[in-house]
Structures are given as structure tokens and as C-alpha cells.
């Protein structure tokens, strides 16, 4: 981002002065609410109501126009109808305002006419260096300075409290909803941004901006689609390097949902499984529900990150402990047993208890709280857990007991420094607050707790990996000059130049040349027609396999050339490719596809007939290194097969990872001109013997 532009984002999201265009005397209306909020919140910047028809608005002096203002405000809030918006934007540009928020709906989401008007407004703003948020949005807020550039009714219940949470939402309604739920949960929200139609500033740019602020630890984001993918990736990468957790809810997972996205904000949904994979690539947690999104934000905001993923479960009921052990395991947490000597110590304290993990202290622990404290002390000191959870059920709801129980738990040892202490309980809000005040995370449900803390542990791991030094990516290859489809020969050549390895195969113009090539390669060989115009070679009889000597190669080459000329008389025929027959190896497929919103992605998965049924493929945005390729491979069924099934030797995953990384650099270098790459099958040979792409198709945009 240019510095000027990001300065203008400060004007949008943390302005020092604000003009409210369309200011209303009625504090309940869209033009009245922002003024009411800004005054009640104690915003220290200057606020200028603009209304040509009034001397004062809500008792404050009003100005007749933007042009008449005594200074150039950082930001203009445009609370005017859609039809009056363009004129207001022109006024802002004329005055030199840095940024404006358009509240009105009725633009791109309403069909062609609205789309055209929106485009005209953007053109005016761009020419004048004015950044725009919206239209069809609820605005933005920064609670630390009392800035509320919004008419959201959520503020009727009170303002946001500053804290480590930021919210960035395309949907204003969702942004308000999640902010209210987070506030009810006691979370401090500093930045709150809704982007609406995203005619200029989009979710990615807003995300990029909040991730660069001090004090933000977790971002709750809501997206229907991604507009600026480069900024989106940049934001996610920065978040990971800065150790800021992005918890993203993206709708349009289902077909009916994706269709509804299209008719809602005209955003393109892209392929959902691609989006999912790219979240994994960047260490983003894609929440499946609002409750999960909130739970994760709650955990990070209140307790920070754990050192690792070892979960110690303390329970007074066997059944509830086992349930959490199941849930923890499923959520990716390690339910590791207490060391043997510590178990002996626990056994001495409570002979009837199960001291392994889940640690079931039985109901006896409840009746002797000092003993419970000593017991948990041993668990905390010797269990080496990163997350300690006590399952309390409905016990804390008993007024006579609740505080003493909290005291007994707390006395066992402090949290912090990478140790998260949590409890599950069903109790009234004031009891929950009391446990939280002692530093415990409080959840009602075991699955909610383990899923949230599983996600938090993955963030910790991902941030640690991002801090590790990684060698820079090799330089991207030179972009291609060609257009259209390449022949197999040409496709393999350009991919080989980009760093992929291919078997020793030769192009031969005549049957005689083919026989000579086969002699040089060694038998058996395969002969394939080579033409940019024949993508489906077997359909024209253009492939003959398993040729054992020069005579057979000569005959087969003649046959293949004749068949191709007969089937496709107009095809440009480069000759025949002579290639060694490859026995063994695991068949996989690799390729590049162009996602509607995320651009070129490398695809990888299992080859063969089952691929269509299993749909077991994964994706990565380009370019990436071999380490990322290894993670990509490990996500798939193919990855498990490559480890060696039924006594088969492990396959050459290192060579495969290098090949996928090279393919990603090729795709990145040709971003914008590539239409697709298909390498099918790609044979992965036993470890140390490399990979052998048997076929390759490269499609370029016309």
C-alpha cells in the first residue's frame, strides 16, 4: 500500500475530525444517530454536522455544505439517500477530504443501474484521492477514541469497551450481531469495521489495517467473498508473522448459500474447498459457527496463547472426564497421561481416584477443598500441561459453595506464561464473571471448550512456525510469451524450465528418428502423438505403449502419425514423443486452476478412478515453498498412500514437494495469462527415485 492511501485509511477508521453530511435533528434517524453517538461517547475530535436547511442540529451548530466547513475534515459520513451520494462525494473531493463512509443502500446490490451509479462514484473518488467505505454498510468504530462512524442500533445498549478484539465484517448486520455477543461475553472490542458493497476499501484492506494496529490480538472477520486477493494474502501473512489470530466466518459453503451470496452483494464466492485450503495455508481459523468464532476470540482475548497443545482434564465424575478426553482428542489436543511418579503421589492423596488423565478425583474432592487444592497443585506442577480444565458441572451454581470452590481451584497455582486455566460449568452470569475474574476461561460445553482451545493451540503452533527463519523463495521463472494451448512437448519444456523434473523423453519427427530415440532411451518405451491441437491423444489412437524394440517403435510411430493426420487433418503435428515406460510408483494428480476470487492455485490429490468419488484434493495459493507443499501433501489421502500402504516403500515425498513448489512458481510467474495446468498422472516413485509426470497440459488465456 502507498503511504498516502494507508494514511487515508487512518482517516476512515480513526479520524481526528468528522463531517456528518445529512445530519438530522432526530437522534433516532440514520442522519441523527452518528452525531448522538459521537457526542455521548466523548469523541475528542471535531464533529461538523452538515445540513443546508438548519442552523443547528441536535443543539450543535450546523454547516450548510462540506465546502463551507472551517477546516478540511479527515472523514465525511454520508447519511444521504443513494441519489444524493454522488454530489456529496464530489463535494468531498472538492474540499480535499481524505475519506468518506457511504451508508446508503441501493447501489451494486440492486442491479445494473445501481452498479453503474456506484462505478461513477468510485471514479469521482479515485480521481480526487478520496477513499470510500461502503456503500450499503454500517460504518466503522474505534472505541479507544470514542469514534463511532455508524448508525448501528447496537450502540443503544451502550458503547464498546476498548480491548484486544477487532471485528471486520462485510455484513453490517453480522458485524453488529457479533459485536453485541462479544460485548455480552465481556470482551473488549477496539476496532469495528463493516465494508458493505466494498466499492473501494474491501474486507482485505480493512483486515490489513487492523492487523497493523497495536494491541489487537484477535480479529473476528466475516466475508462473503474476497475482492482484492493480493491484499487478502498480505493481510493474512502479516497477521501470522505478528501473531494475531484471524478467526474468519465465510458464508457460501453450500450451493444454496453460494447462490444467495451472488444475489446478495454481487460478490463472487469462489470455490469453497479452495478457500478452506488457503485458510489452512495462512493459519487462519475458518469458524463453522458464530458461537465457535466467539469462543475462540474469547479464549485469546482473555487468556492469550498456550505453550503447546497438552490438555490436562480434572473432573469429579468419570463420565464427564472421558467425554472431554474424546472431545479434546477430536479437537487436536493431546490428552497426555500424568507421569508415573506423579500418579503415585495423586494415588496417595485420593486412593479411589483415577490419576492418569482424564484425572477423575471423584466426588470426594468436593468434600475436602484443601485436599482438592493440593491434588490440583500436583497436576499443575508435574503434569506439564499447556491447558488445564476443571469440569465443574452445575456445582458452582450453588451459592454457598461457588466462591470456596473457585478459591480452592485458584490456590493450586496461577495461569499465564503459556498455561491456560479453564473450567466448564453451568451457572448464572455473575458466577461466570467471578471465575473469569480469577483468570479462568469459562465454557458451558465440553465440545465448545475443546474446539476453541484446539484452534488456539493451532494458532500458537502456526505463529511459532512463522517466526522460524525460512529461506526466501527462488526467483520466479520468466513468464511465457505464448498463448493458447501448448503441445505436450512444449508444456513439459516450460514446466521443466520452471524447475519440475520430467523423464528423459524425445520428440521425433519420423518413425526412423523415433526408433533412434528409443535406442538412446532404452526399452520398453511408449510413443505418443505430439500436437498442440490434440489434447486427448488416446481418443485419436495417438498412444501406443510397451514397445520392446526398434522395429515396434518404427511401426507404432507410423501408425500414430497416420491416425492423427486422418482424425484431425488440420492439426499442427510436431511429431511423436518417445518416452520410457514407467513401472510402479503411486499415481497422483497435480495442476493449476484459476479460482474466481483467489486467483491461480496449485491443486494436488490422488489420481485414478477414485479421485472423482473421493474429491480428495487440496489447494494452495501461489507461490509457495517445499515446506508448504509438504503440509499440503499431508492433508490428503494421497499423502497417506505416499507413506506406504500394505508394506509398500514410502514414496519420494521430498521430490514431489519440490515439484509442486516449482509448479507454484510457474503459476505465480504467469498469473493473469495462465488458464490452467493439468499433470495427470504424476507418478511418485519410491523415496530417492523422484517423480515422473507422464503427461502435462498447459492452457494459456487467449
Residues in 124-183 that interact with its own copies by CB under 8 A: 154, 156-157, 169-174, 176-177, 180-181
Instruction: List the one residue from 105, 124, 411, 434 that touches its own copies (CB under 8 A).
Output: 105
Shortest CB 318 distance to its own copies, Å: 4
Shortest CB 133 distance to its own copies, Å: 17
Q: Is 396 in the site for its own copies (CB under 8 A)?
A: no
Binding flags for its own copies, 615-634, as an x/- string (CB under 8 A): --------------------
Q: Is 609 in the site for its own copies (CB under 8 A)?
A: yes
Task: Find all residues with CB under 8 Å of 659, minimum gap 6, and list them.
Answer: 499, 500, 501, 590, 682, 691, 693
Asked if residues 488 and 694 have their Cβ atoms less than 8 Å apart, the reply is no
Q: Note if the bond before 65 is cis, omega within 30 degrees.
A: no
φ, ψ for residue 527 (rounded to 5)? -120, 130
Q: C-alpha grid cell for residue 342? A: 506423579
Q: Is 325 in the site for its own copies (CB under 8 A)?
A: yes
Q: Which of residues 214-243 bind its own copies (CB under 8 A)?
A: 222, 224
Q: Is 330 in the site for its own copies (CB under 8 A)?
A: yes
Relative to beta strand 575-580, strand 506-508 is antiparallel
Indicate the residue among 357 and 487 with the shorter CB distance to its own copies: 357
Shortest CB 591 distance to its own copies, Å: 17
Reduce the DSSP state of residue 441 to 3 states and report it. strand
Q: How far is CA 152 from CA 133, 140, 184, 262, 273, in A?
A: 15, 10, 16, 25, 33
Indicate the residue among 115 and 673 with the shorter CB distance to its own copies: 115
Q: How far is CA 228 from CA 234, 235, 246, 575, in A?
A: 10, 11, 17, 44
Shortest CB 588 distance to its own copies, Å: 13
Indicate the residue among 392 and 486 with the shorter CB distance to its own copies: 392
Task: Find all residues with CB under 8 Å of 568, minimum gap 6, and list them.
Answer: 531, 533, 534, 540
Q: Is 498 in the site for its own copies (CB under 8 A)?
A: no
Q: How far is CA 288 from CA 61, 86, 220, 300, 452, in A?
A: 48, 39, 13, 18, 11
Q: Is 583 in the site for its own copies (CB under 8 A)?
A: no
**Burial letters for 131-148: b for 16+ Cβ neighbours within 10 Å, e otherwise?**
bbbbbbbbbbbbbbbbbb
Indicate the residue among 357 and 402 with the shorter CB distance to its own copies: 357
Q: Is 342 in the site for its own copies (CB under 8 A)?
A: no
Q: C-alpha grid cell for residue 110? A: 440492486
Neighbours of 43 (CB within 10 A): 19
Shortest CB 250 distance to its own copies, Å: 9
Q: How far is CA 680 from CA 611, 692, 693, in A?
A: 11, 10, 7
Q: C-alpha grid cell for residue 200? A: 473501494
Number of residues that bind its own copies (CB under 8 A): 79
Instruction: List the one residue from 356, 496, 675, 687 that touches its own copies (CB under 8 A).
Output: 356
Asked if residues 253 and 326 have their Cβ atoms less than 8 Å apart, the reply is no
Q: Is the dihedral of CA 299, 301, 303, 308 positive or negative?
A: positive
DSSP 538-595: GGGT-EEEEE-SHHHHHHHHHHHHHHHHHH-TT----EEEEEE---S-EEEEEEEEEE
Contact region with its own copies (CB under 8 A), list: 87-95, 393-401, 458-466, 577-585: 393-401
DSSP 652-688: -HHHHHHHHHHHHHHHHHTTTTEEEEEEEEEEEPBTT
Q: Is 360 in the site for its own copies (CB under 8 A)?
A: yes
Q: Which of residues 283-302 bind its own copies (CB under 8 A)?
A: 288-292
Binding flags for its own copies, 24-43, as an x/- string (CB under 8 A): --------------------
Shortest CB 11 distance to its own copies, Å: 26
Q: Is 398 in the site for its own copies (CB under 8 A)?
A: yes
Shortest CB 366 distance to its own copies, Å: 9
Q: Is 613 in the site for its own copies (CB under 8 A)?
A: yes
Contact region with its own copies (CB under 8 A), list: 278-286, 352-360, 529-537, 617-625: 352-360
Contact region with its own copies (CB under 8 A), list: 71-79, 358-366, 373-381, 542-550: 358-366
Instruction: List the one residue from 329, 368, 384, 512 that touches its own copies (CB under 8 A).
Output: 329
Q: Is 279 in the site for its own copies (CB under 8 A)?
A: no
Shortest CB 616 distance to its own copies, Å: 9
Q: Which of residues 643-662 bind its own copies (CB under 8 A)?
A: 645-646
Q: Which of residues 421-480 bind its own copies (CB under 8 A)?
A: 426, 444-448
Q: Which of residues 245-264 bind its own copies (CB under 8 A)?
A: 249, 251-257, 260-261, 263-264
Indicate the residue among 106 and 128 with the shorter CB distance to its own copies: 106
Indicate the residue among 89 and 251 with the shorter CB distance to its own copies: 251
Indicate the residue among 32 and 358 with the shorter CB distance to its own copies: 358
Half-sphere exposure of 84 (CA within 13 A, CB side): 9
Indicate the residue among 49 and 225 with the shorter CB distance to its own copies: 225
Task: Give CA–CA dist 145/228, Å, rounded.
Answer: 29
Shortest CB 59 distance to its own copies, Å: 24
Strand (E) or helix (H) holding 116: helix 112-128
Instruction: List the one residue from 596, 614, 688, 701 that touches its own copies (CB under 8 A).
Output: 614
Q: C-alpha grid cell for residue 546? A: 510397451
Asked if residues 511 and 578 have their Cβ atoms less than 8 Å apart, the reply is no
Task: Give CA–CA dist 266/212, Å, rounded.
Answer: 29
Indicate the residue among 103 and 148 with the shorter CB distance to its own copies: 103
Shortest CB 435 distance to its own copies, Å: 18
Amino acid at each position: 500500500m502507498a503511504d498516502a492511501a494507508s494514511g487515508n485509511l487512518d482517516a476512515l477508521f480513526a479520524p481526528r475530525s468528522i463531517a456528518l453530511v445529512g445530519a438530522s435533528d432526530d437522534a433516532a434517524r440514520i442522519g441523527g444517530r452518528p452525531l448522538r453517538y459521537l457526542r455521548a461517547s466523548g469523541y475528542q475530535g471535531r464533529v461538523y454536522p452538515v445540513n443546508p436547511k438548519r442552523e443547528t442540529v441536535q443543539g450543535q451548530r450546523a454547516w450548510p455544505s462540506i465546502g463551507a466547513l472551517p477546516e478540511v475534515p479527515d472523514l465525511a459520513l454520508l447519511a444521504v439517500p443513494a441519489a444524493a451520494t454522488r454530489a456529496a462525494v464530489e463535494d468531498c473531493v472538492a474540499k480535499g477530504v481524505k475519506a468518506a463512509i457511504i451508508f446508503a443502500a441501493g447501489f451494486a446490490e440492486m442491479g445494473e443501474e445501481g452498479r453503474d451509479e456506484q462505478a461513477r462514484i468510485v471514479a469521482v473518488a479515485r480521481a480526487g484521492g478520496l477513499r470510500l467505505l461502503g456503500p450499503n454498510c454500517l460504518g466503522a468504530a474505534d472505541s479507544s477514541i470514542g469514534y463511532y462512524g455508524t448508525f448501528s442500533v447496537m450502540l443503544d445498549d451502550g458503547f464498546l469497551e476498548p480491548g484486544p478484539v477487532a471485528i471486520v465484517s462485510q455484513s453490517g448486520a453480522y458485524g453488529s450481531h457479533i459485536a453485541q455477543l462479544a460485548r455480552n461475553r465481556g470482551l473488549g472490542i477496539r476496532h469495528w469495521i463493516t465494508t458493505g458493497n466494498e466499492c473501494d476499501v474491501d474486507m482485505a484492506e480493512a483486515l490489513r489495517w487492523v492487523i497493523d494496529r497495536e494491541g489487537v490480538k484477535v480479529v473476528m472477520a466475516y466475508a462473503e467473498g474476497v475482492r482484492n486477493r493480493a491484499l487478502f494474502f498480505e493481510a493474512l501473512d502479516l497477521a501470522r508473522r505478528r501473531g494475531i489470530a484471524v478467526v474468519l466466518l465465510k458464508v457460501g459453503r453450500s450451493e444454496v448459500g453460494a447462490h444467495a451470496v451472488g444475489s446478495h452483494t454481487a460478490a463472487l464466492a469462489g470455490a469453497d474447498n479452495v478457500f478452506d485450503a488457503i485458510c489452512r495455508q495462512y493459519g487462519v481459523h475458518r469458524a463453522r459457527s458464530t458461537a465457535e468464532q466467539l469462543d475462540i476470540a474469547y479464549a485469546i482475548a482473555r487468556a492469550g496463547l498456550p505453550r503447546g497443545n497438552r490438555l490436562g482434564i480434572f473432573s469429579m465424575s468419570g463420565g464427564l472426564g472421558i467425554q472431554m478426553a474424546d472431545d479434546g482428542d477430536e479437537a487436536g489436543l493431546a490428552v497426555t497421561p500424568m507421569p508415573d511418579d506423579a500418579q503415585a503421589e495423586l494415588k496417595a492423596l485420593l486412593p479411589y481416584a483415577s490419576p492418569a488423565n482424564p484425572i477423575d478425583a471423584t466426588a470426594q474432592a468436593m468434600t475436602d477443598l484443601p485436599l482438592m487444592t493440593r491434588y490440583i497443585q500436583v497436576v499443575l506442577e508435574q503434569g506439564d500441561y499447556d491447558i488445564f480444565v476443571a469440569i465443574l458441572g452445575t456445582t458452582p451454581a450453588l451459592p454457598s459453595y461457588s466462591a470456596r470452590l473457585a478459591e480452592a481451584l485458584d490456590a493450586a497455582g496461577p495461569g499465564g506464561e503459556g498455561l491456560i486455566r479453564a473450567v466448564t460449568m453451568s451457572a448464572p452470569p455473575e458466577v461466570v464473571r467471578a471465575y473469569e475474574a480469577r483468570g479462568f476461561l469459562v465454557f458451558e460445553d465440553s465440545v465448545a471448550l475443546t474446539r476453541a482451545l484446539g484452534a488456539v493451540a493451532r494458532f500458537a503452533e502456526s505463529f511459532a512456525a512463522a517466526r522460524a527463519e525460512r529461506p526466501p523463495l527462488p526467483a520466479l521463472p520468466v513468464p511465457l510469451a505464448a498463448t493458447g494451448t501448448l503441445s505436450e512437448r512444449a508444456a513439459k519444456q516450460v514446466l521443466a524450465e520452471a524447475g519440475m523434473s520430467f523423464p528423459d523423453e524425445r520428440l521425433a519427427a519420423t518413425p526412423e528418428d523415433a526408433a533412434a530415440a528409443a535406442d538412446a532411451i532404452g526399452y520398453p518405451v511408449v510413443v505418443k502423438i505430439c500436437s498442440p491441437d490434440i489434447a486427448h491423444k488416446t481418443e485419436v489412437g495417438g498412444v501406443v505403449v510397451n514397445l520392446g524394440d526398434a522395429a515396434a517403435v518404427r511401426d507404432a510411430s507410423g501408425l500414430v502419425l497416420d491416425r492423427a493426420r486422418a482424425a484431425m487433418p488440420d492439426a499442427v503435428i510436431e511429431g511423436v514423443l518417445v518416452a520410457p515406460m514407467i513401472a510402479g510408483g503411486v499415481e497422483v494428480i497435480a495442476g493449476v486452476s484459476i479460482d474466481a476470487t483467489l486467483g491461480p492455485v496449485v491443486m494436488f490429490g490422488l489420481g485414478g478412478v477414485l479421485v472423482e468419488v473421493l474429491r480428495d484434493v487440496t489447494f494452495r495459493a501461489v507461490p509457495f515453498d517445499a515446506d508448504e507443499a509438504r503440509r499440503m501433501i499431508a492433508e490428503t489421502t494421497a499423502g497417506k498412500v505416499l507413506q506406504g500402504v500394505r508394506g509398500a516403500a514410502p514414496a519420494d515425498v521430498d521430490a514431489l514437494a519440490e515439484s509442486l513448489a516449482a509448479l507454484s512458481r510457474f503459476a505465480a510467474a504467469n498469473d493473469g495469462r495462465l488458464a490452467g495446468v493439468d499433470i495427470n498422472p504424476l507418478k511418485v516413485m519410491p523415496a530417492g527415485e523422484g517423480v515422473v509426470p507422464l503427461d502435462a497440459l498447459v492452457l494459456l488465456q487467449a
